């Protein structure tokens, strides 16, 4: 997952989508899922 051109979270897509670690990823997913 990228934020402002910087990779803030990476990993297997299932892991990123079901258990995000970074606050920016969590915020984004809460709005789109």
Q: In this predicted structure, what is the pLDDT of residue 3?
A: 94
Write out pLDDT tens, residues 1-33: 999 999 999 999 999 999 999 999 999 999 998
Indicate the pTM of the whole model: 0.78
Q: In this predicted structure, what is the pLDDT of residue 29?
A: 96
Give the DSSP letter string of 2-26.
Answer: EETTEE---S-HHHHHHS--SHHHH
Q: In this predicted structure, what is the pLDDT of residue 33?
A: 87
- Check residue 5 and give left, alpha or beta (phi > 0: left; psi -120 to 50: alpha): left
């Amino acid at each position: 997952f990228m934020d402002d051109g910087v990779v803030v979270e990476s990993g297997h897509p299932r892991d990123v989508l079901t258990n995000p670690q970074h606050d920016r990823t969590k915020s984004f997913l809460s709005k789109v899922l």
